[in-house]
Amino acid sequence: MAGAVRDPQQDAPRVRDLPAPRRNRSVAGGTIQRSMAWPYRAILAFLLWTGIRPWQLTLLSLVLNVASGALILSGDWVAAGVVLLFAGLADVFDGSVARQRGTEGRSGAFMDSVLDRVSDMILFSSLFWVLAERGDTTYAALALVTLVVSLLVSHIRAEAEAAGLTLTEGIFQRLERVLALMAGLVIPGAMRPVLVVLAALGGVTVAQRLWSAVRRLA
């Protein structure tokens, strides 16, 4: 009927019909999948209802990571951790929205991966700068080590995919890095042990992926 007003609720996806979060082979992957299944579906349903596009969520994640880096530099670490939470959520849901809309493609995945690396560089460079300025050189160095390790984890996967392999191994991937960094930012005195964990377990993940790739290519 001409002039009829569309009820937006008619187009709203039902939460129970949406998929649970994807599981990855990392420390927190299974726990997150089980414990966050219902909130994940609810948020995804809301985002689909709003009509937001995956690329908008990708850019929002980058902007929020830049804001979190700026807050780290200013010394407001609790606020930086809160902003980082929302940046992480945007990063999780850009791919989810793309899959549900049927718009998932190589260009979107490529840009998402590139901007994830940019975000890592912003966050850990900001952390390095602050710690070095305070004279905390050991932990500033660990921030740089964590940055290098995070880039290596991604680079090994990209090289493996170029060689025809799919690598999902790794006990400490980006999800764990973001969660650990948030904990270090919002819990007083936690950043030093968090950096030790990030550097050590990140190194283990690099070794896991290297071993898996070399063994399967041999």
Active site residues: 116
Give φ, ψ of 173 to 5 degrees: -105, -160
| DSSP codes, 128-157 | HHHHHHTT-HHHHHHHHHHHHHHHHHHHHH
Residue 16's Cβ-count burial label (10 Å; 0-12, 13-18, 19+) is: exposed
Cα angle 104-56-42, degrees, rounded to a multiple of 5? 75
String of DSSP letters for 160-209: HHHTT------SS-HHHHHHHHHHHHHSTT-HHHHHHHHHHHHHHHHHHH
Residue with tokens 């929002």: 60
Cα–chain-centroid distance for residue 210?
Answer: 21
φ/ψ (deg, to 5) at 51 = 85, 10
Angstrom distances, CA of residue 47 to CA of 52, 138, 164, 167? 6, 42, 34, 29
